[in-house]
Amino acid sequence: EAQVTQNPRYLITVTGKKLTVTCSQNMNHEYMSWYRQDPGLGLRQIYYSMNVEVTDKGDVPEGYKVSRKEKRNFPLILESPSPNQTSLYFCASSLFTSEHNEQFFGPGTRLTVL
Amino acid sequence: RKEVEQDPGPFNVPEGATVAFNCTYSNSASQSFFWYRQDCRKEPKLLMSVYSSGNEDGRFTAQLNRASQYISLLIRDSKLSDSATYLCVVSGSASKIIFGSGTRLSIRP
């Protein structure tokens, strides 16, 4: 089954404790992206990657890191989480061609930073 | 001004009604347009792409007006299962993707 998976689905942590949220897709998509969703603000792009070893900042990259060592994986790293990073996080992937640029989303990771 | 703006709603309409949403975007160079549907606490899922010529998928019709920089979504004969948040998405350059905040729709029996 074609899908985007994220782990963990739920995480409660404390300020300053490094964490990684994994994202994996099995559709051989070039493009992958991370979003956070907060009430009233919609989805905001954190980082995206057009291909292996190519990553770029989105609209809200502060406090986050990403890596793209393999095509299928795009982990999101919070080196020192803070309470304002409490949010619902979605990973997405896409072929991103002129004909097929719809995004497929993972199920989301609900993060709480105390 | 937000790059993509939607009326947050909520729209509360009876089953069988026709409901329309609009979404405006500020970047005239935007190239791709979509409507996504998001159920509570779930991931967004593509409802339909929006083309300049307009497109229809069953009860759903999407249209794009480049001159006025807005896209619309029309839902006819609404069903209870249409209750969700509808997200307008605009893509400009190869990488920039902007989501609207979403419009909540609630269909009542």
Asked if the Cβ–Cβ distance from A107 to B43 is below 8 Å, we say: yes
Mutate to test the interface with B, among A41, A93, A102, A111 (most CBs of B within 10 A): A102
Kindly report which listed range (A17-21, A28-32, B89-93, B97-101) carries the lowest average pLDDT score.
Answer: B89-93
Distance CA A108, CA B41 (A): 8
Going by C-beta distance under 8 Å and a sequence separation of 6 or more, which residues neighbour residue B40?
B84, B85
Mean pLDDT (chain A, rounded): 94
**Which value, to the nearest 10 degrees, does the dihedral of the CA atoms of residues A92, A96, A102, A108 take?**
0
Determine the pLDDT at residue A73: 98
**What pLDDT score does A15 carry?**
97
Instruction: Encode pLDDT of B16-51 as tens digits.
Output: 999 999 999 998 888 889 999 999 989 999 999 898
CB contact under 8 A, B102 and A42: yes
Phi and psi at residue B82, to the nearest 5°? -80, -10
* Statement: residue A103 has pLDDT above 60: yes
